[in-house]
Structure 1
Amino acid sequence: MSDSHWTHVYPWQSRLWNDLIKRHQQQGLPHALMFTGVRGIGKHALALQTARWLLCSRRIEQQAGVACGECHSCRLWQAGNHPDFMECKPEDGSRQIRIDGIRKLNEFLMQTPQISACQVVNLHPVEVLNGNAANALLKTLEGPPGESFLLLETERLGSVMPTIRSRCQRLALATPPHQQAIDWMLANGCDPAAAAQALRMNQMAPIAALRWVQQQRHEQHQTWLQQLQQWSNGALPLDAMVTIWKNDELADVLAWLGQLTADLMRAHMGADTTQLLEPEVLGCFDAATLQPAKLVALHDRINKALGQLQSGASFFNRQLLLESLMIEWQTLVTEPGRH
């Protein structure tokens, strides 16, 4: 991670950041803060900025609410090896945070700070804690040892255990006003049309939208749409299409299929192209001919699988899942009597 990401407060976060600093200066911060908001809104950057500031040896002197960048603590932070900071996230290819990770967290917090006046742990994403890990973390949240801070992040607050949510002070990161988001993306090299579309596709979260543009996701989605049309028309065998998608992230494919079916449901109910995320779908499929009940069922199944995948609670056979979804899709778009 670059230093800029470790130290940056985005324009739409400035008010929340100033309130956070003011609160700490006046009455102190709770030991557990939970940063919430949609993907790509800047939760991780703000959590790291908070950690860096809390660890700064000259924090009290810095009335402006910024780390000094010069003390021994700040230099260690910039080098990426601060002994009083720990990051807890899924490890070893797992999608979940397991109890071993929380045990390391607890052992870390039992130690005495080496450089700074406190210790800081950044845990993300909270919603992928498995059951044992969540229970072990709960005990720590009830009474963290010494002068320590736990900075948690989640983009799916409803998936976090209520007992964990209730023991954290929530900091909700709202999406910025539309023009501010557009201006920020233009300043980062996007053209207006691409910026507007990317923001629509990413819940108005500028960081996710910028990444979407840089990774040429729109072009990728158009390729997927053409492949889906070819499969639907019988021009592309099922195994060939699934093989083509093998190098793409399964979560990305499922998210796109969910958006696609949502767009078709909107169009079936009379929405015009301005109300669709990717209106190009109407050039490939006629929403009026689709069976609504089957469309809703497929949409729900895709979203359920995506949620399970994101939580780390389920492990899917990629090929079998995609093949079964495509077969269900084929029954949706195939007209009665067509073979």
Structure 2
Amino acid sequence: MSFSWQEQAWQGLVERHHHAGLPHAMMFTGLAGIGKHQLIERLAQWLLCLTPDEQGACQRCHSCLLWQAGNHPDYLHCGPQDNSHQIRIDAIRQVNQFLSQTPQISRCQLVSLEPAEVMNVSAANALLKTLEEPPGESYLLLSAERYGSVMPTIRSRCQRIALAAPTAEQAQQWLCQQGLSETVAEQALRFNPGAPLAALQWVNDGLHDQLQQWQQQLLQWTHGSISLAEVAEPWSKRLDFELVCRWWLQLLVDALKVQLGARAEQLVFDGLVEQIAALSAPSLDRGRLLGMHNKVQTMVGRLASGAAHYNKQLTVETLLLDWRELVMTGQRRETA
């Protein structure tokens, strides 16, 4: 699969391969949902193809047919296993053993490793020798959304390929081509800025409807018309916990923007701008608001890295209590 906003990066890879040759270890970096995985797969199939052209793999040779069947003997994908959020040392041992063999069909062997930032220390250390001395004709294609979270020893041994996000026009156009209306596409991109693939998945997963329900329950809780248990139970048990935390983070960002005089179109929760203002967002204690923002931001980062183990119910209840206290304090300040 190819995307218009990746063509410049693709042509650069092709030209480099024909002239100086591609490095054995490359790390593709950029936002989630811009197509890093698809570009890596396109490059992998192209490098394994027996009769490639400038646009990609031929889709007809023995190698391509094996790729399409999902059992190419010269390709290995490495990622978190057994419902873990981390890439552990056993997975890297499989990579090292795989690369110690010789190619069976293609001219090279290829490993994709995603996402590189969730390798734990033992796994990263186990990969270092392979990155320093890649055996035979082999390629390691890594990807990372949070480049700074990848261990420096891994970063220093990989050629970084930084992928730019598509423009707003490119993202909107692509989503409309996938069958979304302009309004839905715009809403999806508000929650997934610059990431059209993530935006499309957001719509297909029904997260728009879930978000509307989340917003309504938050307002009911803030006004005291619904109990803590009625809100916390579905948020912690029925909804994805990391997603709820990211929604919290964006709400707090919007509240900070309202304090600074942002317009409705500058907010992600554009439908809540009036409600946020009604809840005294301009009068909220900025120090407490920033403190809550930093707390949730840390949670989101730890959840993304796979290094966090939170009590979901307790965490959600704490955030709800913190939020209502923040709002009530703002209302008391406004009436004082």
The farther-off stretch of 281-290 and 23-32 is 281-290
Normalised by the length of structure 2, the TM-score is 0.94
Partner of 1:291: 285
Deviations 1:122-164 (A, max 9, x none): 1000111111111111222111111110010111111111221
Q: RMSD over aligned Cα, in angstroms?
A: 1.6
1:37–1:155 CA contact under 8 A, matched in 2: yes
How far apart, CA to CA, are the structure 2 residues paired with 1:324 and 1:178?
Answer: 36
Query: After alignment, is 278-287 or 40-49 more displaced?
Result: 278-287
Letter in 2 for 1:104: Q
Is 1:325 the counterpart of 2:319? The answer is yes
Q: Which position in structure 2 is the counterpart of 1:36?
A: 29
**Structure 1 pair 289/222, CA: closer, same or farther in 2 (3 Å)?**
farther
Provide, for residues 67-101 of structure 1, a one-character-per-residue CA deviation record: whole Å limited to 9, x for no partner: 11111111110000001100100010100000111
Between Structure 1 and Structure 2, how many residues are aligned? 328
Aligned amino acid, residue 14 of structure 2: I
Q: Is the 8 A contact 1:260 1:281 kept in 2?
A: no
For the residues of structure 1 that align with 2:280 and 2:265, how far apart are their CA atoms? 17
Aligned residue among 36, 41, 44 for 1:48: 41
Residue 109 of structure 1: which of 71, 79, 99 is its match?
99
How far 1:18 moved relative to its partner?
Answer: 1.1
Structure 2: gaps of 5 or more residues: none
Equivalent residue letter for 1:103: R
Distance in 2, Cα, partners of 1:168 & 1:65: 25
Distance apart, 1:65 and its partner CA: 3.7
- 1:214-253 → structure 2 map (5 Å cutoff): 214-245=204-235, 246-253=237-244
The residue number in structure 2 matching 1:3 is none
Counterpart in 1 of 2:272?
A: 281
Normalising by the residue count of structure 1, what TM-score does the alignment of the two structures yield? 0.93
What's the offset of the Cα at 1:114?
Answer: 1.1
2:8 counterpart of 1:15: yes
Specify the SS of the correspondent of 1:334.
helix
**Residue number among 108, 131, 142 corresponding to 1:152 in the alignment:** 142
Q: Tell me, in whole angstroms, the C-alpha distance in 2 between the residues paired with 1:177 and 1:294.
A: 35
Residues in 1 aligned to 2:15 and 2:155: alpha-carbon distance in whole angstroms: 23
* Shift of residue 240, structure 1, vs aligned partner: 2.0
Q: Secondary structure at the match of 2:262?
A: coil
Task: Report the 3-state secondary structure (helix = DSSP H, G, I; strand = E; otherwise coil) of the residue aligned with 1:190.
Answer: coil
CA-CA distance at 1:176 after TM superposition: 1.6
1:128 partnered with 2:118 = yes
Q: 1:27 deviation in Å? A: 1.3
Matching of residues 261-280 of structure 1 within 5 Å: 261-280=252-271
Counterpart residue type for residue 251 of structure 1: E
Task: Give unpaired runs (5+ residues) of structure 1.
Answer: 1-7
Give the secondary structure class of the aligned counterpart of 2:142: strand
Quick check: 2:281–2:327 contact (8 Å CA) kept in 1?
no
Q: Deviations over 1:245-297 (max 9, x none)?
A: 11111111011100000000000111121211112223333312322111111
Query: Which range is displaced more, 240-249 or 282-291?
Result: 282-291
Matched residue, 2:18: 25
Which one of 79, 91, 97 corresponds to residue 87 of structure 2?
97
1:86–1:120 Cα contact (<8 Å) kept: yes
Q: State how far apart, in whole Å, the 2-side matches of 1:231 and 1:218 are.
A: 20
Q: Is the 8 A contact 2:27 2:161 kept in 1?
A: yes
Aligned to 1:192: 182
Assess, with a 3 A threshold, how the Cα gap between structure 1 residues 65 and 25 changes in structure 2: closer, same or farther. Answer: farther
Following superposition, the deviation at residue 219 of structure 1 comes to: 2.9
8 Å CA contact 1:32, 1:152 repeated in 2 = yes
